[in-house]
A = this chain, B = another copy of it.
Amino acid sequence: MLSNNPHWNQISSMEFDDLFSLSNDFNPQSDSDEYSMLLDDLIKEETSSPTETDPYQLQKALPDDSAHESRVPTLECGVCGAPALGYNFDQITCESCKAFFRRNAFRDMSQLTCRFSGSCVINIQTRRQCTYCRLKKCFDIKMRKDWIRTDEEKRIRQLQKLTKEQKKSHRLFNDHLDTLSLAIVSRKKKQLCTNSTGQ
């Protein structure tokens, strides 16, 4: 990045070193940057998890292609039968069952109980009345809890975003540096010229 800039050739080695070491601290791509390595390692470690890439998604066809125009109202939540907008966690569900599943999928089913026989009818009216049976139905229709991001995954995503933003600001900074160094060089040159003509 910096070394590609032709202006740098004209600067004395001391100045170059100064600026270079300075820019290093801002350059996450530099090999010597421990912090970015740390981040990169973390990111690599976590993103290689199998849930991140989604082969399923590619296979999946639109559920009702013939009714393309009227698709929105035809979909029906597999859990409660409410109108659905599309797939959530691998099954067609309404927004509320999507939110419900995200909130509850990692709860211990053995800690939940049904007040009745464990086979409550779940529909748009009754869905709130039995957490156990609603959640059970979510799993029955094969909603996938492994598609819910864990806290750890969220943390990693934030790190990635941070790195990206940093890279952006580094780029900005380096651009500024380029401009700045040009000014410095020309000022020094001017000084030199003034001195030599003064002699």
Contacts and interface: CB of A to CB of B under 8 A. Distances in A.
A38 B176 contact: yes
Nearest to A188: B34
Given A34-B188, A158-B5, A169 B107 contact: no
Interface of A: 1-2, 5, 8, 11-12, 18-19, 21-23, 25-26, 28, 31, 34-35, 38, 41-42, 45-46, 107, 111, 113, 115, 129, 146-147, 151, 153, 155-156, 158-162, 165, 167, 169, 171-176, 180-182, 184-186, 188-189, 193, 196-197
Contact of A38 (B34, B158, B173): B173
Contacts of A160: 107, 111
B184 A31 contact: yes
A87 to B, nearest CB: 10
A153 B151 CA distance: 27
